[in-house]
Chains A and B, each alone.
Chain A
Amino acid sequence: MASIFDILNFSGKGVGIGPVQSVDEMTVIPLVGEDSGDVASPESLVFEATTNYGSMVFKNEDSKPAIVPTNYMVRGRGAQDHAMAGSGVVTAGQRKTFDTACCIEETQGGYLSAQGNEEDVLPVDLRRSLLNYGKRTERHYGKLWSSIKRWLQGVGVRTHAAHLRDFYDDKDIRSALEEFAAEFEPVDGQIGAIIMFSGTPVGLEIMPTTAHWDAYWQQLLRGCYGSELVRLKRLGQVAPSTLVLPAIPEQAAPDEVKIILDEFVENLQKEVIPVIKGIAINGDRKISTDGNLETRLITTDTGGGDVILQDSKPIYVSLVL
């Protein structure tokens, strides 16, 4: 059984682990490395509209192919909010309709336009609902409604249907999410991250370039992981932070303190490697080929997600763990 480590080919791709950032229950382990993949800049990709329920249209204004991040979510006023069922590839200069998208605001009518939207990535637990190949490729706009209803249960948000926006629009939640995203910062050369809740890995994201990470990190940390953590906290289902700061012997001199803390930080980084090594792949299925880009849906024991390969080399990874 292959390890995710083999796919990532960390050493070959030159991906390293950056200084760990940890705030309360969440830890973000930055993945740093050189840009890989000959793809369009994130600014070249624009969400244009929904043309039908379950159909999201993106336009790529670049001469290279563009990647739509996995489960990209668009919320707009007076229209049915939508999310992608997986990742997407829009080839050079193309306008592409993804007709397997999900409506995420059950009783709201109307189509989204390009302007005045809020964009995020689906919460990590809802992403899990879309890992099944059948569900992922199903053309049924209401396919996520039952999961959304279940997801919203007990979080204390006033809602009467599968309206994900009721969660994001709640004043207290909105403010908690802003504060949450505020705690983390991208580091130099960052192309991705491993995200952990109380010491357990919940997600792994790798973008093709630092520009892509810069463009999407807040939507991932806020919309996807932050929202899940806020929800779990409200449900009282999040374990307390497992990070214990290192003991510093009394009377330790400043230079000794520095050595102790440097070692502590280094160990935090080292501890991540076996965690990733332990993620075994037990399923791998091709979703699509667009030019020299191939999208594959992989599954692991606990989750899975999308890997996009360019000329057989992985350039984009988005996994729920």
Chain B
Amino acid sequence: MTDQLQLDSGMLQYVPKGAYYEGADEQFNQVMAMWSDLFTHDRTLFCLTSLLGGTGFSKGAMAHMLLSSPQTITGTELVPEGLAFDYESKVILYNLDKERTPRALKNLLMLAGGEKHRRVNNARTRRIILQYIFDRDHVALDNLAINYKGKLKKLVRHALGKQDLFKILNGDQKLFDKWIGRYHANAMPVLCYLFDRELAKDEVHAYFPKIDQVLRLKAAAQAGDVEEFTKQMKGLPRLTVMGYRNTYKIPVDLDQVFKKSKVSGRQALQMETAAKRQGVKLEVNYKKQDIYDLWKALYHKLQSGDLENSDKIVDAIGHQSERKEKLNIGKVAVVIDASRSMQGSDKRPMHPFLTSLSILSILDNIESVHYVGGKNVRVADTLSAVIPSGGSDLWRGLVDAVLTGAEKILVISDGYENSPKGMFEHVYKHFKDSGYEFELLHINPVFSADAQQGSVRRLTEDTKPLPVSSYKYLETEIIFNRMIENKDMVKQLLVGKYNKLIGG
């Protein structure tokens, strides 16, 4: 397959936010070409690779591709032994379940034309959308409905179509059972809530306490009843409460809203600065946060100059770094590209550099770290950091790493070298020709539409870069590397993974 296909794990790690140098559209065309190539070449492999670690967007777009074209039983689309006939739907649903809910809903919304995708509506998409939403227990459905009302409304309307939706909302029990009742027999109040319909008063309905509470909150807001509003907002999603507070101009202190309403740990970290600007203090449990989010929060603090809690974040990074399963590739000297381009795009500021730091945090056996470029910023007596800046004289990092005598040298860089271009390879060749024995590894966190091969730029002719846009995707990268050499083995391995994760 390597003869025909130019692909690497970058296809599973795509996020449409562009890079320092490239817009999202250029990159999208490149990654779309990879998806199409693999899809045409081997649909089963295409589907199963989406079980590997990757970004929600990539998986959503891949699912969209699968659902846009019917799964037949001819040619390359034959279901291999060991897989269920509806394995594609199962893989798609499994991936949706593993995703954070907002991302999963966005992926489903791709089927309704979201994120520049073509609308797709067929029996499979209909089933998958409705199964994802309604095939959950009572409490979970209640929570889902109040947190994502707008998105769910769009999805249900798309899946059912205007006519069937109209009939169901007007009491067509048979249709309700066919599409929704099979997953959740008592879901009618949820449907009515989503479409702002009154429940039929002469019938007995299941009770969804959160939905009921939101309706009471809304009624209090409409009536301008501050006391009742304050009472009802307890435990409801912060965005919902803020929405009604702002729409109906309810004079409740933000401090009260932040104290009584609920928000996820990740959202709390993201909202910390905004809350502070409003004079509200948020309690964030840093030790429970993802290591990338922690680095991001720390750099945000460094750049904004607001250092409150930065010591706690530093501690939490240490804590997470110890807790994480370490990746041991042997003793290694690490060269980190801290040139200006590692700042990333406007839409995803600092992403390449923060990814480098996150990878560094989970690597074992690090003997030395060499920064190339960058500006050291001391912000307090005990706190300083490197900020990406300046040109990329990567050769300097290589020489420093070789000077340590390390057997493995890992370079984390976007592969853009200009001081001058080609000097890294020139120096690398010198060392190799002179008998220096070290293995060079190149991790590239930046997708590049102009890469000569694969999805990222390379630094030397004989070092294939590993595209790793998140420290979480190292396994994905390793499996893709094997795929280049032995497609059948990888396919078997993925079938095994499917049976272990999903079964049936």
The stretch of A138-146, A159-167, A183-191 that contacts the partner chain: A183-191
Task: Give the CA-CA distance A243 to B421 in the complex, in Å.
Answer: 10
Nearest chain B CB to A10 CB, angstrom units: 21
Find B418's partner among A22, A188, A268 (CB 8 Å cutoff): A22
Task: Give the CA-CA distance A258 to B449 in the complex, in Å.
Answer: 33
Q: Restricting to A48-96, which residues have a CB under 8 Å from any CB of B?
A: none
Task: Give the CA-CA distance A187 to B393 in the complex, in Å.
Answer: 12
Q: Is the CB of A245 within 8 A of B450?
A: no
Task: Give the CA-CA distance A252 to B431 in the complex, in Å.
Answer: 8
Find A248's partner among B22, B402, B418, B430 (CB 8 Å cutoff): B430
Contacts of A20 in B (CB 8 A): 419-420
A167-208: contact bitstring with B at CB < 8 Å (1 yes, 0 no)?
000000001001101111111100000000000000000000
Task: Give the CA-CA distance A68 to B38 in the complex, in Å.
Answer: 50
Q: Is the CB of B450 within 8 A of A187?
A: no
Nearest chain B CB to A9 CB, angstrom units: 25
Q: Restricting to A230-283, which residues have a CB under 8 Å from any CB of B?
A: 243, 245, 248, 250-252, 254-255, 257-258, 261, 265, 268
Contacts of B422 in A (CB 8 A): 245
Question: Using a Cβ–Cβ cut-off of 8 Å, how many residues does chain B contribute to the interface with A?
Answer: 34
Q: Restricting to B296-336, which residues have a CB under 8 Å from any CB of A?
A: none
Contacts of A23 in B (CB 8 A): 418, 420-421
Q: Is the CB of B403 within 8 A of A255?
A: yes
Q: Is the CB of A245 within 8 A of B420?
A: yes
Q: Restricting to A1-26, which residues have a CB under 8 Å from any CB of B?
A: 18-24
Find A185's partner among B390, B433, B449 (CB 8 Å cutoff): B390
B389 within 8 A of A: yes
Q: Is the CB of A21 within 8 A of B403?
A: no
Contacts of A255 in B (CB 8 A): 403
Q: Is the CB of A182 within 8 A of B389?
A: no
Task: Give the CA-CA distance A263 to B337 in the complex, in Å.
Answer: 22
Contacts of A186 in B (CB 8 A): 340, 390
Q: Which residue of B lies closest to A176 (CB)?
A: B450
Find B399's partner among A27, A245, A261 (CB 8 Å cutoff): A261
Task: Give the CA-CA distance A179 to B449 in the complex, in Å.
Answer: 9
Find B427's partner among A18, A248, A268 (CB 8 Å cutoff): A248
Q: Is the CB of B340 within 8 A of A22?
A: no
Contacts of A254 in B (CB 8 A): 399, 402-403, 431
B354-390: contact bitstring with A at CB < 8 Å (1 yes, 0 no)?
0000000000000000000001000000000000011
Q: Is the CB of B402 within 8 A of A21?
A: no
Q: Is the CB of A175 within 8 A of B450?
A: yes
Question: Using a Cβ–Cβ cut-off of 8 Å, how many residues does chain A contribute to the interface with B?
Answer: 34
Q: Which residue of A lies closest to B450 (CB)?
A: A179
Find A265's partner among B26, B419, B426, B427 (CB 8 Å cutoff): B419
Q: Is the CB of A188 within 8 A of B26?
A: no
Q: Which residue of B lies closest to A22 (CB)?
A: B420
Contact A185 to B341, CB < 8 A, known contacts A22-B418, A251-B434: yes
Q: Is the CB of B427 within 8 A of A182?
A: no
Task: Give the CA-CA distance A296 to B48 in the complex, in Å.
Answer: 67
Q: Is the CB of B423 within 8 A of A245?
A: yes
A26-59: contact bitstring with B at CB < 8 Å (1 yes, 0 no)?
0110100000000000000000000000000000
Find B421's partner among A22, A175, A178, A261 (CB 8 Å cutoff): A22
Q: Is the CB of A178 within 8 A of B418?
A: no
Contacts of B375 in A (CB 8 A): 188
Q: Is the CB of B399 within 8 A of A185?
A: no
Q: Which residue of B lies closest to A268 (CB)?
A: B420
Contacts of B421 in A (CB 8 A): 22-24, 183
Q: Is the CB of B390 within 8 A of A250?
A: no
Task: Give the CA-CA distance A252 to B426 in the complex, in Å.
Answer: 13
Q: Is the CB of A258 within 8 A of B419?
A: no
Instruction: Write the residues of chain B forming the contact surface with A, with a CB cutoff of 8 angstroms.
Output: 20-23, 26, 339-341, 375, 389-393, 395-396, 399, 402-403, 416, 418-423, 426-427, 430-431, 433-434, 449-450
Can you list 9 residue pairs at the A/B interface with Cβ under 8 Å? Answer: A19-B391, A19-B393, A22-B419, A24-B421, A181-B21, A183-B418, A185-B391, A254-B399, A261-B423
